Amino acid sequence: MLDPFGRTISYLRVSVTDRCDFRCVYCMAEDMTFLPKAELLSLEELDRLCSTFIRMGVRKLRLTGGEPLVRRGIMTLIDSLGRHLNTGDLDELTLTTNGSQLEKYAALLAAAGVRRINVSLDTLQADKFTALTRWGKLDKVMAGLQAAKAAGLQIKINAVALRGINDNEFDDLIAWCGEEGFDLVLIEVMPMGEIGDAARLDQYLPLSMARAQIQRHWTLDETDYRTGGPARYYVVRETGRRLGFITPMTHNFCESCNRVRLTCTGTLYMCLGQNDAADLRTPLRQSENDALLEAAIREAIARKPKGHDFVIDRRQRTAAVPRHMSVTGG
């Protein structure tokens, strides 16, 4: 699949649920209203949609949420999608998780063919972790990470850089990831969804500042390593682990974008930072034949924009994109 700018679309991110057992302050309001369960695609419908994308050229599939592992019966879907790894039609099946359910699911994920996971973790301090996630417990996530290591999963830690909150922990995160054998990616906060009293302008930290701070204590060697996502990676010479930066605000990554995002209701977003979307649920349910669905996907890819235009502005206090990240998939 080629978009209007000649980019090959080979990466599909699927939000299997908008629900989460955390309420992270930069992601959700504490009193979130979630989608009615009746609006969600069934696991069988998600399987059919993902399989259609794979048939049309998607090589990497990432399951996200919300928190994907809180969806009832999720391993049924993951086990089923693993068949595309066995046939060679899919290069990688992975997921992004908050880690709360990993102790239960890590071995099952590995058995289904998952080899690599991203775990969102913004602080190593238990009290701060609970404050950031509102409902989360750090010891539960740490137990999940150890279970994932024991299952042989490669782990990448995703940390959102938050001014005045965790910007004094970057050294600790780098050292800890080095000790544990994890890669680390720092992410700029993005203006998506209303989050109550928290002000993103106050949270926002340009990663150029974070990198300058990190380089006072660590040696960052450039590398051409890529995972198919937007992160630009360095190797931390002192630990041998990778450190990535995702910079949607200060330096967007649109020129090489190979991704589209599918929600749990069957809505396809061609760009994380734009509101244009395509309804795939209707053609999915109109016919058991996939011809209508494939046509809808091609039409949507033909509308993929050149890039996003996130702005965080003190004069514009509302979110640049009204939907929450948990709806689109992180």
Confidence of residue 140 (pLDDT cuts 50, 70, 90): very high
Distances (CA, A) of 312 to 5, 14, 19, 200, 251: 27, 26, 26, 7, 14
H helical segments located in the chain = 43-55, 74-81, 83-87, 102-112, 126-133, 138-150, 170-180, 200-203, 207-214, 281-286, 291-301, 325-328
Phi/psi region, residue 164 (left: phi>0; alpha: psi -120 to 50; beta: rest), is: left
What distance in Å separates the CA atoms of residue 99 and residue 144, rounded to the nearest whole number? Answer: 6
pLDDT at position 23: 83
pLDDT at position 154: 98
What distance in Å separates the CA atoms of residue 95 and residue 109, rounded to the nearest whole number? Answer: 9
Taking a C-beta distance cutoff of 8 angstroms, is the pair 206, 246 a contact? no
Write b or e for each residue in 176-212: b if 16 or more Cβ atoms lie within 10 A of its Cβ, otherwise e.
bbbeeebbbbbbbbbbbbebeebebeebbbebeebbe
pLDDT at position 328: 58
> First vs last Cα of the chain: how many Å apart?
22
More confident residue, 230 or 187: 187
What distance in Å separates the CA atoms of residue 27 and residue 9, rounded to the nearest whole number? Answer: 26
Lowest-pLDDT choice from 208-217, 248-257, 262-271: 248-257
Taking a C-beta distance cutoff of 8 angstroms, is the pair 113, 151 a contact? no
pTM over 0.85: yes
Q: Which residues contact 245 (CB under 8 A, 6 or more apart)?
A: 185, 186, 207, 210, 211, 231, 232, 234
Taking a C-beta distance cutoff of 8 angstroms, is the pair 148, 155 a contact? yes
How does pLDDT run across 58-107, given as a tens digit for each residue?
A: 999 999 999 999 999 999 999 999 999 999 999 999 999 999 999 999 99
pLDDT at position 145: 98
- Name the nearest CA neighbour of 61 among 71, 75, 72, 47: 47
How does pLDDT run across 220-257, given as a tens digit for each residue?
A: 999 998 877 788 999 999 999 999 999 865 555 577 78
pLDDT at position 28: 74
For the record, the structure tokens of 78 come out as: 């993951």
Q: How much is the mean pLDDT over the chain? A: 88
pLDDT at position 152: 98
pLDDT at position 275: 80
Query: Region 270-295: what's the mean pLDDT?
Result: 92
Q: Specify the residue for token string 């970057």.
A: 170
Query: Region 273-292: what's the mean pLDDT?
Result: 92
pLDDT at position 201: 61
> pLDDT above 70 covers what percent of the chain?
87
More confident residue, 263 or 317: 263
Taking a C-beta distance cutoff of 8 angstroms, is the pair 161, 132 a contact? no
